[in-house]
Amino acid sequence: MAQRIETGAEKRAGTAWLAGWLAWVIPGSGYLFLGRVGRGLLLGVVVYLLYAIGLLLGGHLYGPHNVDEAGLLAYVFGLCDLGSGLLYLGSLWGGIGLVDQASRATAEYGNIFLMVAGLLNYLLALDAFDLGVGRKA
Amino acid sequence: MKHLFLMVAFALAVSVVFGVTGREEPRARLFYGLKIFAEFIGIGLALGWLLYWLPL
């Protein structure tokens, strides 16, 4: 039976995939996994801050739970929100940020902050993958 | 005033992420981040004034 030997490039690809997934699930953690502590803390804090400010401003999370209210856009916006990984899933599970507070003047700002937190975290996940695979220094 | 503060906070957050991920050298990161920040604020203010004059 032939034994498969893992090459350096395969190991690096495995590390990169893990870093990318980790970065999505817990913002900033992908960089920490790669040993880029400063980058992970700075960029992770930015995502957490955007998310927290979004909730404080009265923003709410989109997803399958509010298709009746927002229509198909709930899926599009929900996909943006989903970028925050466990923050989003934990909020859904805990019932945080599910109520539309349209009467608040800053509610729309809050929605945008929440969505951009997710979109930036997608970017960070891709960045962590690139670092892991060696495309970036 | 709160709206302006939120715009600045948003611009700052996005420009930090773009600055760090978009360039490799520390100096290039700083200038790229500052450029994006200035663009966000400048375009935001310009659009704000444009909308102010439009009878919407």
pLDDT over 90 at A8, yes or no: no
Three-class SS state of A109: helix
Q: What is the pTM for the complete model shown?
A: 0.90
Count of CB pairs separated by less than 8 Å, A with B: 35
CB contact under 8 A, A112 and B9: no
Closest in A39, A49, A106 to B13, CB measured:
A49
Q: Does A37 touch chain B if contact means CB atoms closer than 8 Å?
A: no
* pLDDT (tens digit per residue) in A99-129: 888 898 899 999 999 999 999 999 999 999 9
> Which segment of A50-54, A57-61, A89-93, A101-105 scores lowest on mean pLDDT?
A101-105
The percentage of residues in chain A with a pLDDT greater than 90, rounded to a whole number, is 72
Alpha helices (H) along chain A:
8-25, 29-33, 37-56, 67-70, 73-82, 86-94, 107-133
Cβ-proximal residues to A104 (8 Å cutoff; 6+ apart), any chain: A57, A58, A110
CB contact under 8 A, A123 and B9: no
ipTM of the complex: 0.88
pLDDT over 70 at A131, yes or no: yes
Cβ-proximal residues to A10 (8 Å cutoff; 6+ apart), any chain: none
Q: Which two tokens stand for residue A9?
A: 């490039």
pLDDT over 70 at B3, yes or no: yes
Contact call for residues A109 and A57 (beta carbons, < 8 A): yes
| pLDDT score at A3 | 63
